[in-house]
Amino acid sequence: MNMQNRTKTNKNIIASLILILTFTSFSCSKGSSISTESGTQAPSSTPDDPTQPPEPTPTPPPNPVPTPTAKMYGVTVDSVANINDVVNSLNSLSQKATARIVFDEGMAASYYATPIQKIHNVSYVMGEILDSFYVKNVTAAQYLARTQEYYNALSSSVDIWEIGNEINGEWLGNTSDVATKMTSAYDFIKSKGKTTALTLYYNEDCWKYPSEEMFTWANANVPARMKSGLDYVLVSYYEDDCNGLRPNWQQVFAKLAQMFPNSKIGFGEMGTTKSQAAKTDMIQRYYRMNISQDRFVGGYFWWYFVQDMVPSSKPMWQILNNNLL
């Protein structure tokens, strides 16, 4: 209830009291009550009558579903085929997760409507418009049309829109085309007042061309409006793809925070297909990582959630859950 409805003038108060007293004296034998102008119930004329039914409790208006504001506990869902087990695994976690849904190439947005609604009932949702592996297969116009289609179909169940995935990877195609796809998707989602995320690919000493190094590419190809306006800037990193390198993440995120001064920052994708011991070690190191940066939110988004942690009876589910701190 807003302040205007709570704050009444003396004239309105007096008028309401006169009306209550008049009506009470007329119908006291029925134990009547009457609503005041502000919508609250006036006292009954027979407050001690045990037969008087209790006053109904007002139903508050629904609150909008928030997006994660502090620590983000992310997992990647690359298939919604076994949706009930996926939902159960998410719902059983000790922390409310952010499920990053990979929208497969060639799939109509309507395919995801029911599964994502079920996921959204138990977790936050980040929608990946198109995985980086397939970006080269669509034109800039098709990429924007896909963004619009998915937004129109799924906007009520998606909290964060990943408008570009591993955007500086050499496999995405011509840089100019990639930048156009990224910016057009960003501009469309922002025009709707929604939350955006961009995922970069960390490739220190393992890039194909120097221009594709993460910071070099972002500095050259992410326009100023995105540098200041992106809600999340995330980093995809696979140790197995980069000679096992373990970067100084404190320095990496300090530099990223400087380039994107208003964005929350974190990891947007990670994982390994090695042994359970290797997976356990990686989950412990990343999900427990302490970065001294006010805007660092975690994220992580283990790529193999469906394979490793669904159903929740799998050992890796418990390992993940133990590290959601």
CATH number at residue 307: 3.20.20.80
144: phi > 0 → left, psi -120 to 50 → alpha, else beta; which? alpha
Domain that holds residue 101: 73-322
Instruction: State the average pLDDT over residues 48-66.
Output: 40
**Per-residue confidence band for 205, with pLDDT thresholds at 50, 70 and 90:** confident
- 26 is a domain residue: no
Is 58 contained in some domain?
Answer: no
Per the domain annotation, does 141 fall within a domain? yes
Q: Tell me, yes or no, whether 144 lies in a domain.
A: yes
Considering only 35-39, 88-92, 312-316, which range has the smallest mean pLDDT?
A: 35-39
Q: What's the rounded mean pLDDT across residues 28-53?
A: 37
Neighbouring residues of 202: CB distance < 8 A, sequence distance ≥ 6: 214, 235, 236, 237, 242, 247, 252
Domain assignment present for 116? yes
The tally of domains found in the chain comes to 1
Is 158's pLDDT higher than 60? Answer: yes
In a domain, 288, yes or no: yes
The answer for residues whose C-beta is within 8 angstroms of residue 84's C-beta and 6 or more apart is 118
CB-CB neighbours of 303 under 10 Å: 21
In this structure, is residue 94 part of a structural domain? Answer: yes
CB 237 within 8 A of CB 214: no
pLDDT of residue 110: 98
Report field, pTM of the whole predicted structure over 0.85:
no
Cβ atoms 130, 138 nearer than 8 A: yes
Q: Which band of pLDDT confidence, cut at 50, 70 and 90, is reported for residue 69? A: low
Which of 83 and 8 is assigned the larger pLDDT?
83
Assess if residue 250 is contained within a domain: yes
Q: What is the pLDDT of residues 255-294, one digit of tens each?
A: 999 999 999 999 999 999 999 999 999 999 999 999 999 9
pLDDT of 6 reads 34
Question: What confidence score (pLDDT) does residue 202 get?
Answer: 98
Is 1 a residue whose pLDDT tops 60? Answer: no
